[in-house]
Chain A
Amino acid sequence: MRRIISILLLVIVALGISLSLAKIPFGVPKTKVGRHYINEGVKETGATNIVTSVVVSYRGFDTLGEVTVLFIASIGLGAVLSTIGEKTVRKIEPASLVLSTGCRVLFPLILVFGSYIFIHGHLTPGGGFQGGAIIASGFLLIYLGCRERRISRVASKLAESLGGLTFVVIGLLGLVSSGYFLLNFLPKGTANALFSAGIIPIIYIAIGFKVGSELAGIIDNLIEES
C-alpha cells in the first residue's frame, strides 16, 4: 500500500515538473544577460572560452565563494576524521604489476594533462576546477598503485594556501588599482593567445592548484584513516 502511494506521488510530481517544463520554449534565449556574455564576452574579457569568462570574470566573486566552500568541506572532513581515534596500521598489500606500472607511467601524464587543462582554461574547454579534479584523480592513482610513494602533506597544504592567497590578493589588487574587487586590471592582449585575458589565467592556475590539492587532501585523509 505504502509503495503504491509513493509511486503515485512520484508520478504526480514528475507530471507537474514535466508540464511546467513543457511551457518553457526550448533553446530560445530567455535572458538578455546570456546574450550579452556570448556577444561581448570575448571583447570584454579577452577569454575565448565564454564559460571561463563568466566563471572567473563576470562571476568571479561567486567562484571565490565556491572555492571557499570546498576549502571548508576539506577542513571539516579533516577535523571530523582526526577525532576518530585508534589508527589501525594495516599492512599494505602491494598493488598488482599492471596497476603499479600503470601508476608509474600514467601519473606524470595525468599531471601534465591537468595542468594543461587549467593553464589553457581561458582558451579551451576546462579550467581550474576540471584541471584540479584531474590532478586529484592522478593522486588517487598514486594511492591505489604505488602506496610506498608518499605525498608530502606540507607541500599539499602549501599549494592549497598559496592558491587561495593568490586569488584573494589578485582580487585586492584590482580593488586597489581600479576600485573594484577582482577587476581585470592587466592588459587583455590578443584573444586566442596563451598570455591574454589579463588576470583570468592567473586566477585559474591558482584555482587549479587549490582544488587539486584540496581534493587530493580529502582522498589522503579518507585513505589514511581507513
Chain B
Amino acid sequence: MIFIVSFLVVLMLVGAVAASVFRDLISAVIAAALVSLIASILFYFLQAPDVAMAEAAIGAALTTTIFIIAIRRTKRYEE
C-alpha cells in the first residue's frame, strides 16, 4: 500500500514539474490533468470518496477541457 502511494506521489510530482516546464501548452495541460487524476486516486485512498469524485470530474475532465479550448483560441506554444 505504502509503495503504491509513494509511487503515485512521485508520479504526481513529475506531472507537476512537467506542467511547469513544458513549452507546449497542450502537453502542460495534460500533465496538470495527470496531477488532478492522481490527487483523486489519493483522496480515495485517504477515504474521502466524495472529494475524489469531485476532483476526478472537475479537476481532471472539465478544467482540462476549458484550458484546451482556451489554448485553441490563443497560442499553443509558449515563447
Give chain A's interface residues, CB within 8 Å of chain B.
49, 51-52, 117, 125-127, 129-130, 133-134, 136-137, 140, 215, 218-219, 222-223, 225-226
The answer to whether A125 and B50 touch (CB under 8 A), given A133-B58, A226-B72, A226-B73, is: yes
Q: How far is the CB of B25 from chain A (nearest CB, A)?
A: 15
- Min C-beta distance of A50 to chain B, whole Å: 10
Query: Which of B50, B53, B58, B73 has the most chain A CB atoms inside 10 A of its CB?
Result: B50
Q: Which of B69, B72, B73 has most A Cβ within 10 Å?
A: B69
The number of residues on chain B lying at the interface, defined by a beta carbon within 8 Å of a beta carbon of chain A, is: 14
Q: Are A117 and B53 in contact (CB under 8 A)?
A: yes
Q: How far is the CA of A225 from the CA of B72 in the complex (A)?
A: 11
Q: Give the interface of B toward A (CB within 8 A).
A: 49-50, 53-54, 57-58, 61-62, 65-66, 69-70, 72-73
B53 contacts A215, CB within 8 Å? no
Separation in Å of the B17 CB from the closest CB of chain A? 13
**Contact check: which of B54, B66, B69 meets A129 at CB < 8 Å?**
B54
Give chain B's interface secondary structure class: helix
- A137-B62, A140-B61, A215-B62 given; A127·B69 CB < 8 A: no
Decide if B58 touches A140 in the complex (CB within 8 Å). Answer: no
Selected from B61, B70, B73, the residue in CB contact (under 8 A) with A137 is B61
Q: A222-B69, A226-B69, A226-B73 known; A130 and B62 CB under 8 Å?
A: no
Can you list 5 pairs linking A and B with CB atoms under 8 Å apart? A52-B50, A126-B50, A127-B50, A130-B50, A137-B62
Q: A126-B50, A134-B57, A219-B65 provided; 10 other pairs, C-beta below 8 A? A: A51-B50, A129-B54, A130-B54, A133-B53, A133-B58, A134-B53, A215-B58, A218-B66, A225-B73, A226-B69
Please give me the residue from chain B that is nearest to A215 by CB atom. B62
